Amino acid sequence: MNTPQRVEHQQTDRGTIPVYATGVVEQPWQDYSAVDHHVWGELFERQRAILPGRACREFLESQNTLKMSADAIPRFDELNPILRAATGWELVGVEGLLPEYTFFEHLANRRFPVTWWIRKPEQIDYISEPDLFHDLFGHVPLLMNPVFADYMQAYGRGALKAHGIGEHALLNLTRLYWYTVEFGLIATPEGLRIYGAGIVSSKGESIYCLESDAPNRIGFDLERIMRTRYRIDTYQQTYFVIDDFEQLFEATRPDFTPIYRQVKAMDDIRARDVLETDKVFHRGTREGFATDADA
Ligand code: PHE
Ligand code: CO
């Protein structure tokens, strides 16, 4: 397997992350090694063994419709006709994380970028950046759902708009992506289920997010999400729970421009309060002012 080409780094909420080449590449399917296919198969089986009863029905059913299996790494050109027929989305191969603007442009045009390379055997349990398994196994199934598919496109368009508004708007939207597309939970009639790609592609977090008492699981709240920091190096401290994909789509339909302003105004007030308190009481900590979200 060729090694992907690393071009630059980008400073984000998640720390410093590598950003790969911006171009779309053909999936070099013939070049995958036996080890690559084996890594896919092992991860696939492991996740499929624990996800029934944990992942939402839409996710599991769509994965079947797409005919993903443990046998071999799926071919983008075999998934695309199925995906196009269902929702008009299509997969494009990429070298890895894209610069923000390029990524949003793809989403706004119903193209989902999928990293073409898969992790090495020693990275089975943890990899700090998205690879083919995360992108394909985790993200692609829900693009088969018409409402979620529309949400993803609306997100891309909204992000292009936020890009023109400023840093804080974009940061708020990145958090929305994180707490829905990557780490979202959904309250179904059968019980709490996972729909976030970052969870379904991780064995440990698939169990932790539902069964541990440690994290908060709170109802979807747009402004609260926009104010909630996240980390990439541990399981989440807070998960936001939607009732269904319609709720997610409707809650994010309004124009966010005034909401960004409001969230920023609140952040500014809090920052000023903290500084003044520091002066008077010589407090060395922000703790008294942190929301649980900030901890
Ligand atoms: N309604 C949002 C806006 O006006 C766009 C958006 C939709 C953002 C869905 C995220 C998700 O900016
Ligand atoms: Co992802």
What is the secondary structure of 27-74 as a DSSP string? --GGG--HHHHHHHHHHHHHHHHH-TTTB-HHHHHHHHHTT--SSSPP
- The closest residue, in CA terms, to atom 5 on ligand 1 is 158
Distance from the CA of 286 to the center of ligand 2, in angstroms?
31
Higher pLDDT, 240 or 11: 240
State the ligand closest to the CA atom of 175.
Answer: 1
**Per-residue model confidence (pLDDT) at position 8:** 66
The CATH number that applies at residue 24 is 1.10.800.10
Mean pLDDT within 90-119: 96
Is pLDDT of 87 > 90? Answer: yes
| Ligand 1, atom 10: closest residue by C-alpha | 155
Alpha carbons 88 and 81: distance in angstroms, whole number? 9
User: To the nearest whole number, what is the mean pLDDT of the chain?
Assistant: 90
- Domain limits for position 70: 10-290
* 290 has pLDDT over 50: no
5 inside domain: no
Looking at the domain assignment, is residue 137 inside a domain? yes
Q: Which of 152, 157, 171, 262 to mutate to test the pocket of ligand 1 (most atoms within 8 A of CB)?
A: 157
**What per-residue confidence (pLDDT) applies to 200?**
98
Asked if the structure places residue 264 within a domain, the reply is: yes
Least confident range from 3-7, 146-150, 188-192, 279-283: namely: 279-283
Structure tokens at 68: 């993903």
pLDDT of residue 140: 98
**Total-model pTM:** 0.88
Radius of gyration of the chain (CA): 20
Residue 295 in any domain: the answer is no
In this prediction, residue 277 has a pLDDT band, given cuts at 50, 70 and 90, of low
Percentage of the chain with pLDDT > 70?
87
CA of 155 to the centre of ligand 1 (A): 5
Counting the structural domains of the chain, the total is: 1
